[in-house]
Amino acid sequence: MDTLTISRKDQRRETILAVAAEVFAEEGYQAASMSTIAARLGGSKGTLYNYFDNKEALFEAYVRESCGRFADAILDFTHGEPVREVLQALGERFLDQILSDTSVRMFQVIVGEARRAPELGRVFFESGPKVGRDRIGQYLEEARERGEIAVDDCAEAAWLFLAICKAHHLEVVLNLRSKPSPEEITNLVRHAVDLFMARYAKT
């Protein structure tokens, strides 16, 4: 298979995932069908099944790719900068992403399906939250080795930092408030960083 053919297949796959994301967000996992996704693509179900064996495989691919893009967007650490500044920038990117309409809708769909299909919940957890926890934990370990922070369990500290940043996430997911403004996000993260550094800054 030549490079052009591979590229076209990759592009088609990306288009399928983008359309599937829209359908899952609008209808939920249970109500969404391969027929609906194929119709919106303007093709046949046969074409869709050339790429994905079933709806669960399509949904799993959608979750993995979405989480991968999410991680690439936020988990970019500027080494050499003070921990406080690194965490502030990281937290702002994190909140901007998880409070976006796309991320909120994906989270709502996954939570709705996790009880019926724990495997889908596991895929999301391992592709998204766990990756974030592990990579932030690794950064904190490096900062600890440089003598910048005093942390016993860097993975647990990473969870705590993300949890503090997510103070208003549940309200947005439950449609009780809109996404905070950029200024509000900056202030929310600043409070989270203050609390984190008060606990873990090397004295």
Q: Where in the chain are the domains?
A: 1-52, 59-200
> Does residue 143 contact residue 80 with C-beta atoms inside 8 Å?
no
- Side chain identity, residue 203: T
Domain 59-200 falls in which CATH fold?
Tetracycline Repressor; domain 2 (1.10.357)
Class of domain 1-52: mainly alpha
DSSP class of residue 116 equals T
Report pLDDT for 113: 86
Measured distance CA(26)–CA(28) in Å, rounded: 6
Burial of 97 (0-12, 13-18, 19+ CB in 10 A): middle
> Does residue 168 contact residue 180 with C-beta atoms inside 8 Å?
yes
Report pLDDT for 4: 47
> Does residue 195 contact residue 89 with C-beta atoms inside 8 Å?
no
**Predicted confidence pLDDT, tens digits, the chain (203 residues):** 455 454 777 888 899 999 998 998 888 888 899 999 999 988 778 888 889 999 999 999 999 988 988 888 888 877 778 999 999 999 999 999 999 998 998 899 999 888 888 988 999 999 999 999 999 999 999 999 999 999 999 999 999 999 999 988 999 999 999 999 999 999 999 999 999 999 999 87
> Does residue 110 contact residue 126 with C-beta atoms inside 8 Å?
no
